[in-house]
Amino acid sequence: AAAGSGCAVAVAHPNIALIKYWGKRDEEWVLPAADSLSLTLDVFPTTTGVRLAPQAAGDRVLLGGQEATGPAQARVADFLHLVRELAGRREPAVVDSRNTVPTGAGLASSASGFAALAVAAAAAYGLAADPAALSRLARRGSGSACRSLFGGFAQWHAALDAGGGAAADRVSLAEPVPAAAGLEVALVIVVVNAGPKAVSSRAAMRRTVATSPLYRPWVASSVQDLTQMRAALAAGDLNAVGEITERNALGMHATMLAARPAVRYLAPASLTALDAVLALRERGLAAYATMDAGPNVKVLCAAGQASQVAAALREAVPQASVVVARPGPGARLVAGDG
C-alpha cells in the first residue's frame, strides 16, 4: 500500500434507515443490538479533507470553516487517534469538513460526516482499506456512518453470533442490499425547523436501552421487520417496503416515549406531516413516513410520484422546506492517494 501522501479529500452522502439502528449492546466498540437497513441519498453530501500536520501540537478540526472546540473537536480527534493506531502513525492532522445540509436541520450529518472522514483519514494516513474495512472504521465514529460507505440500500450487520469486543468488531459492518430493478423510489424530506435537538441520539439510545419497557419487544419486532424488508426489496414491492419502514420507525419512537424520562423528538409539524402522509395514502398514493432523532419527516414514495407527494407536503406544512432525494452513491475519495 502507498504510504499516503498526507492529504486526501472524500465525499459521502447521508443515509436514512428504513429499519432503524436504535441502541448499542457494546458502547465502546459501537456494536448495535440488531441489524439495520438504510437508503443512501443523493442530497446533502459532506466533503471532508484530511491533511497531516507533523509540526502541529494537536488535531485541528474545521466544521463549515469554523474552528471546532470541546466535544465536537474531541470526537473527531478520538477518531483520528483510532486511524493513527491502525496505521502505525503519530502525526496530528487538520480536518476540514463541509456539510451541504441546510443549517440547523439536523439531518443525518453524523453519518455522512464520519463516512467521509473515514475515507479521507485512511487515505491520508496510508491505511490500506477496502469499502468493507472502511465501513467498520466509520462505524466507530458514528454507528449509522458505516452504511454510507455504500450507495443505495445497505444493511449493517449486528454480528450477534460473534459476541462482543474485538471479535464482533471484525464482522460488524454494512453491505449493499440488492433490490428489484423495477423498484424506483424517492425520499421526500420535510425539514421541520424546530431548533437544536434536546438530546443527542447517543444519550437517547442509552436511556432507552436502560429504562424503556418497550425496548426489548421493539428489537424483537425489528428483527422480523428486517427479514420481511429484504424480501419486499427483492420483490420490488413498494407498499410492503413502505409499511415495514413506517411501523419500524413509529415503534422506535414508541420505545423513546416510554423511556424514563421520555425522549420525544417529534414536533407538532412532524405530526402534521404524518397526517398528510395518511391523506396521500387515502388518495391511493404509496407514501410512507420515517423519522429519526429529530422532528424531520422523510416520506418514501415511488420516484414517479415524488413531485406530487412533495407538493402535498409543502401545502400541509408550509413552514417546512421540502427536498426530494433519490438513491445516492457510496462514500468515495475525490482527491489524494488511497
Enter the C-alpha cell of residue 26: 457494546
Element (H, E) at 61: strand 60-63
Residue 177 to residue 204: CA distance in whole angstroms: 28
154 in Cβ contact with 178 (< 8 Å): no
Position 255 contacts ligand PMV (CB under 6 A): no
Tell which positions 20-49 bind ligand PMV, by CB under 6 A. 20-22, 36
Residue 293 as a binder of ligand PMV (CB under 6 A): the answer is: yes
* Distance (Å, whole) CA 295 – CA 192: 6
CB of 217 to ligand PMV, least distance (A): 18
From the list 144, 119, 190, 132, the residue with the least C-alpha distance to 39 is 144
Question: Minimum Å distance from CB 8 to ligand PMV?
Answer: 23
Taking the complex as a whole, the smallest distance from the CB of residue 194 to ligand PMV amounts, in Å, to 16
Q: By C-beta, is 87 or 190 nearer to ligand PMV?
A: 190
Size of the site for ligand PMV (CB under 6 A): 13
What is the Rg, in whole angstroms, of the alpha carbon atoms belonging to the chain? 19
CB-nearer residue toward ligand PMV: 60 or 135? 135
Rounded alpha-carbon distances, angstroms, from residue 293 to 125, 256, 297, 332: 33, 10, 10, 26
131-160 positions binding ligand PMV, by CB under 6 A: 142-144
Cell of 82: 483510532
233 CB-side CA count, 13 A: 22
Residue numbers 84-123 binding ligand PMV by CB under 6 A: 110
Interface characters, 176-215, with ligand PMV (x: CB under 6 A): -------------------------xx-------------
Select from 15-23, 54-62, 91-99, 184-192 the region that touches ligand PMV (CB under 6 A). 15-23
Q: Compare residues 124 and 299 and give the one whose CB is closer to ligand PMV.
A: 299
Closer to ligand PMV by Cβ: residue 10 or 18: 18
Cα–Cα dist 45/161, whole Å:
34
- Point out which residues bind ligand PMV (CB under 6 A): 17, 20-22, 36, 110, 142-144, 201-202, 292-293
